[in-house]
Amino acid sequence: SQQGEEDPQALSIQEGENATMNCSYKTSINNLQWYRQNSGRGLVHLILIRSNEREKHSGRLRVTLDTSKKSSSLLITASRAADTASYFCATDRGSARQLTFGSGTQLTVLP
Amino acid sequence: KAGVTQTPRYLIKTRGQQVTLSCSPISGHRSVSWYQQTPGQGLQFLFEYFSETQRNKGNFPGRFSGRQFSNSRSEMNVSTLELGDSALYLCASSRQTAQETQYFGPGTRLLVL
């Protein structure tokens, strides 16, 4: 079963704009990770944020985590056509040695 | 470092057949996990291996099995294939556990006819 729900399911923006994707989950977590997937290929790891962290940056990516609301957001600034992909959040919890993925957001960046 | 590799990349089988997929983790990674991705169910956890032992298993029927070798390479097997087994099968590796960054391979796309 999927732990997370992502919002929106699809997002279309112009190159240069910022893209924000949200992820909500149901139970307490250890970490939350964001992945990108290009058209049916493997997942590329973007960023991991631990449950005791509130914000993390990596290049043009900014991730926030609000454990009280059980939600996270991924912000991609100054988007490029190459950012067109599906974005997934994934959580791990307790001692479970597995990731539980959200349903994903399909981002389209128009040139 | 070389990334996670999976073979074969594409596979076509017919119902009732069995299939074996292979995954080679990043050097030094001892944990290997498998996931199934379908349009309807999304990404779902199959199982995780560490030091040749299955440590965790998802909610899949017994037709899905796997193993890990002493060099951390892993295989998964699906017997008596069904149409619904058509999916992208992804392998991921990490040093110790899923609580670290997991690095994914390109996947094996299986089509069952």
CB contact under 8 A, B106 and A101: no
CB B20 within 8 A of CB B11: no
Whether omega before B25 lies within 30 degrees of 0, making that bond cis, reads no
Stretch A46-72: mean pLDDT: 96
pLDDT tier at B113, thresholds 50, 70, 90: very high
Stretch B72-93: mean pLDDT: 97
pLDDT given at position B65: 97
Inform me whether the pLDDT recorded for A41 exceeds 90. no
pLDDT given at position A3: 57
- Cross-sheet strand order for the sheet of A71-76: A5-7, A19-24, A71-76, A61-66, A55-58
pLDDT given at position A5: 78
**b/e burial code for range B60-97 (CB count within 10 A of at least 16 → b):** beeebbbebeeebbbbbebeebeeebbbbbbbbbbeeb
Quote the tokens at residue A99.
Answer: 């990731």
Mean pLDDT value across chain A: 91
Inform me whether the pLDDT recorded for A32 exceeds 60. yes
Q: Which of A5-9, A106-110, B63-67, B77-81 has the lowest mean pLDDT?
A: A5-9
Stretch B16-36: mean pLDDT: 96
* C-alpha closest to that of A66 among A77, A52, A76: A52
A2 reaches B (C-beta below 8 A): yes
Interface of A with B in 36-55 (CB under 8 A): 40-45, 48
Inform me whether the pLDDT recorded for B1 exceeds 80. no
Give the integer Cα–Cα distance in Å for A94 and A80: 37
Question: Which residues in chain B touch residue A44, judged by CB atoms under 8 angstroms apart?
Answer: 104
Inform me whether the pLDDT recorded for B98 exceeds 60. no
Q: Give residue for tokens 């939600």.
A: A71
- Cross-sheet strand order for the sheet of B5-7: B5-7, B19-24, B74-78, B64-68
Inform me whether the pLDDT recorded for A1 exceeds 50. no
Instruction: Give how far B49 is from chain A: nearest CA, Å.
Output: 9
CB contact under 8 A, B104 and A98: no
If DSSP codes are grouped into helix, strand and coil, which group holds residue B91? strand
Start-to-end CA distance of chain A, whole Å, equals 36
Instruction: Give how far B15 is from chain A: nearest CA, Å.
Output: 23
CB contact under 8 A, B104 and A31: no
pLDDT: which is higher, B75 or B100: B75
CB contact under 8 A, B45 and A99: yes
A4 reaches B (C-beta below 8 A): no
Question: Which residues in chain A touch residue B59, judged by CB atoms under 8 angstroms apart?
Answer: 1
CB contact under 8 A, B99 and A2: no
CB contact under 8 A, A42 and B106: yes
Give the integer Cα–Cα distance in Å for B50 and B102: 13
**Which parts of chain B are beta strand (E)?**
5-7, 10-13, 19-24, 31-38, 42-50, 53-57, 64-68, 74-78, 87-94, 103-104, 108-112
pLDDT given at position A14: 97
Question: Which residues in chain B touch residue A1, judged by CB atoms under 8 angstroms apart?
Answer: 59
pLDDT: which is higher, B106 or A4: B106
Inform me whether the pLDDT recorded for A78 exceeds 50. yes
Stretch B69-91: mean pLDDT: 97
pLDDT given at position B99: 65
